[in-house]
Each structure stands twice: as C-alpha cells, then as structure tokens.
C-alpha cells in the first residue's frame, strides 16, 4: 500500500503503472514478442 503526498505524485505513479501494464506485461504474456 502506497501513501502519496500529493495528487501529482499519485498521478505520476499511475502513469508509470499504466505504461508498464500496457507494454511490458503484455510482452511477458506473449513470450516477449512486441504487440503487433
């Protein structure tokens, strides 16, 4: 559980997580092949 000091800090963390979720996680699921 994270405690963020400001909304901006929370927003930046969400952007990083969304980027990870949409890019790196998918590659692991498809045996490291990039999305078509």
Give dist(CA 26, CA 28) in Å, integer. Answer: 5
pLDDT at 8: 96
For residue 24, what pLDDT is reported?
72
Torsion of CA 16, 21, 27, 31, to 10 degrees: 130
pLDDT of res. 28: 65
What confidence tens digit (pLDDT) does each residue in 1-31 have? 678 899 999 999 999 999 888 777 766 666 7
For residue 30, give every residue at least 6 positions away whose Cβ sits within 8 Å of its Cβ, in sequence order, or none: none
Neighbours of 26 (CB within 10 A): 14
pLDDT of residue 29: 66
């Amino acid at each position: 559980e994270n405690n963020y000091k400001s909304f901006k800090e929370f927003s930046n963390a969400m952007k990083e997580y969304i980027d990870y979720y949409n890019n790196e996680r998918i590659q692991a699921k498809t045996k490291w092949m990039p999305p078509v």
